[in-house]
Amino acid sequence: MPLLTDPTAPPEVPDTPVTDAVRAWRSLEEWRSGGPGREAVSREHPPGAMLPPEGLARRTFLQLATASLAAAGFSGCFRQPPEKILPYSQPPEGLTPGVPLHFATGLEWNGRTVGLVVESHEGRPTKVEGNPLHPASLGAAGVFEQAALLGLYDPARAKTARLQGVEAAWSTVRDALRKQAEREDGGAGLRFLVEPTGSPLVQALYARIQERFPQARIIPCGAALTDGRREGTRLAYGRVLDVVHDVGRAVVVALDDDFLSTSQPGNLRAARDFVNARKPEAMNRLWVAESTLTVTGGFADERLRMRPSQGVALMLALAAEVGAGLGGNGPAWAARLAELRVPATALTDAQRAWVRGAAKDLLSHRGQGRVTVGSRQPPLVHELAFAVDEALGNTPRLLEPIALPDGGPEALTLLMGELFDGRVDTLIITAWNPVWTAVWEADFTRHLERVPFRLYHGLHEDETAARCTTFVPATHPFESWRDGRAPDGTASISQPLIAPLFPGAVSEVELLAVFAGLETQSPYELLKSLWRERSGAPPDFEARWETWLADGVIPGTQAPSARAVLDEAAVMEDALDVAGLGPFRIVQNAPDMRAIARASHLAEKPEGLELSLVLDSRLYDGRFAGNAWLQELPDPVTKLTWGNAALLSPATARALSLEKGDVARLEVLGQAVEVPVLVLPGQPDDTVTLALGHGRERVGPVGQGVGVNAYALWSRNMPWGAATVNLTRTGRHHALALTQEHWSMEGRQLALQLPHEAFRAKPQALQPLQEDGERLYPPSALLKSDRHQWAMAIDLHRCTGCSACMVACQAENNVPVVGHDGVLKSREMHWLRIDRYFLGDQDDPGFITQPVACVHCEAAPCEYVCPVNATVHSDEGLNQMVYNRCIGTRYCSNNCPYKVRRFNYLEYQQREPLARLRQNPDVTVRSRGVMEKCTYCVQRIERARAVARSAHRDIREGEVRTACQQACPTEAITFGDLRAPESAVRRAHEDPRHYKLLNSLGTRPRTVHLVRLKNPAPKGGA
């Protein structure tokens, strides 16, 4: 079957009795001449009904598919082998067809591993969940972890290897690498450009390679442009250390640190810890100062807008306030912090008031607070944050580095010098796409081509692969053996879920083993022998090994806290230097000290527009640009899909006469891009924020050319973009694919938040929203029946709006993507959406998010208007969809006040072999013309029912967890049996904070929301 129905070609018709009109389809000449066959089809399908969305050509159609034409060649892998085979009469032990298995594994990115549990149906992974035993996930899974499943089945993955520009088998490339490994110069011309990793196995291979080739160099190259946190520890403690997020405190002050998003390693645990400390009966307080609106800023009790360059001045002022407040009640050196001064023009009155309030709150909660700074800020800001925490007794948790330290831009600069001098004859690249992330340095690409033997190992034929004559396809993390470490050092085993889908793919361990002289051993053997040795080769190692594989965690491997002493004299010297009160201290081996030197003029009020570059919350640094789930996932703040935009505050947009979608030219240091504008309430004035990771040139059909390449604006002299940018109008317009155009609740009580003290004083204030409105029909007797009564509760007090639930729902329920044009027409198919509202002043508003799916009304308006009874109510309280009855009238959608029903305007589901492999077999794959919506994951309910029946018992509390509930990092979603008196969902439905969305309509929803509580500081400070 072709991917698209071509109206100019005769469709395929099976050899069965058909009408004369349809039989006429077989005549190509008659079809083209407009014969009776074509006329009959035209009567059934109006012109264009079988075409893709308007404006969507064949070249761009594949951008919205989860598979591409490359999958057509993959179908050949499903032929029977020529050898004799036998039927599947006796399945392997423990495998029952139709009953999924679950395997513990992990996913590493940016040097940290997140523990996962992957569901597998008959040997094919279909759903990713968090591992509850792993300290980095605690059972949750972020957007990147869940979308990795789609990357596994991506037909755009590289399939064949190349050797010096000629297609070759891996065995041929391996022979060539063996010759490289037989060199006798000690590795003088050998370099490895690698991804930062905490894998003990990979690090052991690096060590063995370094032992065999003493003059070779291994250079880590990560995604982040610079990491101020690492250099901050070097300045404060004398050496590089890892900082573990420890935000489960009474007071948290976050400076440009979006620790509640799921777009950074370690944030799953950080979000859980923070929200657990934010109990309604004992509220903590969050102070946030940030240079662009984030989900953490939206969750803040006291939020402050700042320009990126004001971080230094803000931290200097905070340190001075804390020093003055301590007086003689803290360490002797801390009193000197009060000597710091910030120029009067560096901060506004509102910013100084925020600093005074945050300092007072920290001082009143000594030993119970935390000052956390994002990696985008210069090292001095981190250094001062460590000093403030130490002075207050809020000792930060520090570890010896787990992963190889990222060398940053300086490492690439040193490598480029060696390339230019011709000192490198062999370059092995396993880092993700350095040609793309180093686009700011044209010399890197040019010098790379000077290397005689350059090999790139990657998942795709991307920008770096195009510059390397030798290429080796990489296996997906779910196809290979590996180990890794969580942010706290806990080790885990990552086991493959499936054999490599493309036989030419090779794991990084296999590649490095050739240079380590260990290519005769498989990755599994290398991994097992390493941990046998590290565990002391106990007699019961085999039993331990099996337990580690089953649990996904190696117990007792958590890293101890580092013994580090703050260098108070150095901290004060640096702080006084930047405040203009002393000479600069030169620190050896601190490559980012130039950021400190630059901070002296950043303390003054900057002029003009300032550029702020950020890692994208959906594509990260661009490595996920080929993932259709993430391209169509709305940004949690802007609700933008399929691209990026220059974010401007309403005041700045008015001053520049710009509106949403206007294309502007951004120019920095002679480099320019043209990008559409998006006006974002809460954005700092005179600040332009642009997300990295878009505009890829070689990524496959899904993300090819989507968005604008922001890396073109970055340079070594401008870490993370705190520099002046010129912005000019072009007069052109670009349609932005937004899933939410309107941000006001217009006085309706939808997403609610209340001050904590106000709610405690009058908890009965929500009672009118808890009662049902007028009823058109008599009350249901379902709750009095002996059947389960399923219900849900969503706690806005715990929900950060991170969007993990949306990807989980999409993966679990085979929800398709519709592409840029489909989103423009409001045809997105997500069963679960997260509404975002701004409250108050649009220049500096409040911010709240609200997940909304089908609320399974007991008096559902959709059920009464369906002419074919396709949407019905079950005896367990579910509002069900019978797909084969639905004729697509959309009456139900028009009658739904929550607007949660989705209609398949086109055949969005793809039928290629790879697309079928990843689909959940327990969920019907819907076709064109069918209405669909949230089902409370009824397939999981039925699976639990089958298990309970086989054990001759009832379904127990907690046995049924919906996909969105299971993925949520903060446990904001509760699901269960409303009839059970001790169930968590019943307690939530009886909580004084609960309310029913649009309760005045009398729909009696089974999903209730719980009000978010805020804990603002008292006027005049904490």
**pLDDT tens digits for range 825-872:** 999 999 999 999 999 888 889 899 999 999 999 989 999 999 999 999
Query: What is the C-alpha to C-alpha distance for residues 407 and 219, in angstroms, rounded to an integer?
Result: 7
Topology of domain 245-396, CATH: Dimethylsulfoxide Reductase; domain 2 (3.40.228)
Element (H, E) at 749: none
pLDDT at 587 over 50: no
Degrees to nearest 5, angle at CA 559 with 554 and 562: 175
Q: So what's the pLDDT on residue 77?
A: 45
Global pTM value: 0.88
Residue 148 has pLDDT above 90, yes or no: yes
In terms of Cβ atoms closer than 10 Å to its own Cβ (0-12, 13-18, 19+), residue 781 is exposed
Parallel/antiparallel/unpaired status of strands 166-168 and 161-163: antiparallel
| Per-chain mean pLDDT for the chain | 84
Pair 636, 803: CB distance under 8 Å: yes
979-986 average pLDDT score? 91
Q: How confident is the model at residue 781 (pLDDT cuts 50, 70, 90)?
A: low
Which pLDDT tens digit goes with each residue over 476-519? 999 999 999 999 999 999 999 888 998 889 999 999 999 999 99
Residues 694, 698, 701, 702, Cα dihedral to 10°: -20
Amino acid at 462: D
Lowest mean pLDDT among 231-235, 580-584, 669-673, 881-885: 580-584
pLDDT band at 705 (very low <50, low <70, confident <90, very high): confident
Per-residue pLDDT, 849: 94
Domain 790-1014, CATH class in plain words: alpha beta
**Is the Cβ–Cβ distance between 739 and 641 less than 8 Å?**
yes
The count of other CB atoms within 10 Å of the CB of residue 764 is 8
Residue 981's pLDDT is: 87
Q: What is the 3-state secondary structure (H, E, C) of 382-415?
A: HHHHHHHHHHHCCCCCEECCCCCCCCHHHHHHHH
- Average of pLDDT values for 798-812? 94
Whether residue 729 contacts residue 674, with contact meaning beta carbons closer than 8 Å, is answered with: no
SS3 labels along 62-75: HHHCCCCCHHHHHH
pLDDT at 596: 42
**Mean pLDDT, rounded, for 102-122:** 91
Most confident of 465-474, 667-676, 709-718, 722-731: 465-474
- Give residue-wise pLDDT tens across range 22-44: 333 333 334 344 444 444 434 44
Residues 662/645, Cβ–Cβ less than 8 Å: no
The pLDDT confidence band at residue 221, using thresholds 50, 70 and 90, is confident
Least confidently predicted of 241-245, 649-653, 1009-1013: 241-245
The helices-and-strands tally (H runs, E runs) of the chain is 35, 39
- pLDDT at residue 306, as a whole number: 92
Q: What is the mean pLDDT of residues 810-824?
A: 93
| Range(s) of the chain covered by CATH 3.30.70.20 | 790-1014
Confidence of residue 666 (pLDDT cuts 50, 70, 90): very high
Record the tokens describing residue 9, joined without a space: 């070609």
pLDDT of residue 784: 65
Percentage of residues of the chain with pLDDT beyond 70: 85
Closest CA to 62 of 155, 179, 153: 155
Nearest residue to 763 (alpha-carbon basis) of 752, 772, 750, 754: 754
Residues 533, 534, 540, CA angle at the centre, nearest 5°? 70
Question: How far apart (Å, rounded) are the C-alpha atoms in residues 344 and 626?
Answer: 48
- Predicted confidence band of residue 74 (pLDDT cuts 50, 70, 90): very low
Residue 595 pLDDT greater than 90, yes or no:
no
Helix (H) or strand (E) holding 755: strand 753-755
On the question of pLDDT at 801 being above 60, the answer is yes
pLDDT value for 437: 79
Beta-bridge partners for 932: 902
For the stretch 166-200, pLDDT in tens is 999 999 999 999 988 888 888 898 999 998 899 99
pLDDT at 771: 85
Average pLDDT over residues 348-352: 92
* C-alpha distances in Å from residue 28, one per residue of 11, 325, 739: 10, 87, 42
pLDDT one-digit tens code per residue, 412-426: 778 888 888 888 999
pLDDT(601) > 50: no
pLDDT of res. 736: 94
Is-contact 610 687, C-beta < 8 A? yes
Distance CA 680, CA 647 (A): 6
Please name the fold of domain 607-733: Barwin-like endoglucanases (2.40.40)
Instruction: State the pLDDT at residue 927.
Output: 87
Q: What is the mean pLDDT of residues 618-634?
A: 92
Report the range out of 226-235, 627-636, 695-704 with the highest average pLDDT.
Answer: 627-636
Stretch(es) of the chain classified as CATH 3.40.228.10: 245-396
Of the two residues 716 and 15, the one the predictor is more confident about is 716
Contacts of 685 (CB under 8 A, 6+ apart): 305, 649, 651, 652, 843
pLDDT class of 223 with cuts at 50, 70, 90: low
The predicted model gives 993-1013 an average pLDDT of 93
Give the whole-angstrom CA distance, residue 648 versus residue 612.
Answer: 11
Write down the pLDDT at residue 723.
Answer: 67
242 - beta bridge partners?
A: 399
**Which residues of the chain does CATH 2.40.40.20 include?**
607-733
pLDDT by residue (tens digit) across 749-772? 899 999 998 898 888 888 889 888
pLDDT of residue 572: 83
Helix H segments across 850-959? 861-865, 891-895, 913-918, 938-950
- Percentage of residues in the chain with pLDDT exceeding 90? 56
| Residues ≥6 apart with Cβ < 8 Å to 59 | none
Write out the DSSP string of 926-940: --TT-EE---SSHHH
pLDDT (0 to 100) of residue 518 = 92
Q: Place 230 in a pLDDT band, splitting at 50, 70 and 90.
A: confident
